Amino acid sequence: MVIVKTKRLCIRQVTNEDAKELLKVLADPIVMQYSTVGVHTKEQIDGYIANCKKQYNINGYGHWAIYNTEHNEFIGVCGLNKHTIEAEDIVHINYRLATGQQGRGYATESVAGVLSFAKKHLKLNIVYALIEPANASSVKVINRAGFKFVKSSVFRGFIVDIYQTNL
């Protein structure tokens, strides 16, 4: 199921058929350097796919696969999560792109597409981003998307900067 199409990207639900492609992102230590859950094994990727499907059913959102529309090439994942931070339930965006796909504007384009979906279809008013301060590339993406720094906090034992944007 397609969630949103942008100029160059198709963002759609993750399927079992994406398992091999997801290895390019979730099993890559460079891509997962700032992940609070770490590098995934093949078995963990199967669990990741199952969790994505569960989140679609429960919340109407989760992590989605990003493909380039011109070549149907896997780019990475982008999506929304719900977590409790400092006793407040928040919906936050995150993304991971395959190493060979970085630096092409895909992260910014996929974030814009997911935010559009969040506003139009989920009727969200605010979306957050949780980023480790050392992750300068993600900070740039979020700033380009209009997010503003709110505060620093701890999430899953990691210090993160919390950003928000009003939709």
Distance CA 121, CA 92 (A): 16
Domain ranges of the chain: 2-125
pLDDT at site 73? 96
pLDDT at site 49? 98
pTM value is 0.94
Write out pLDDT tens, residues 131-154: 999 999 999 999 999 999 999 999
Distance CA 15, CA 8 (A): 21
Structure tokens at 38: 């770490």
pLDDT tens for the 167 residues of the chain, in order: 999 999 999 999 999 999 999 999 999 999 999 888 889 999 999 999 999 999 999 999 999 999 999 999 999 999 999 999 999 999 999 999 999 999 999 999 999 999 999 999 999 999 999 999 999 999 999 999 999 999 999 999 999 999 999 99
Degrees (nearest 5) of the Cα angle 53, 144, 4? 35
pLDDT at site 97? 97
Instruction: List the one residue out of 34, 163, 39, 55 whose CA is nearest residue 111.
Output: 163
pLDDT at site 65? 98
Beta bridge partners of 95: 78
Q: In the block, which residue shows the tokens 């992590």?
A: 63
Considering the segment(s) 2-125 as one domain, its CATH architecture is 3-Layer(aba) Sandwich (3.40)
Degrees (nearest 5) of the Cα angle 140, 67, 120? 70
Write out pLDDT tens, residues 54-66: 999 999 999 999 9
pLDDT at site 31? 95
pLDDT at site 36? 84
Structure tokens at 62: 């989760």
DSSP string over 118-140: HHHTS--SEEEEEE-TT-HHHHH
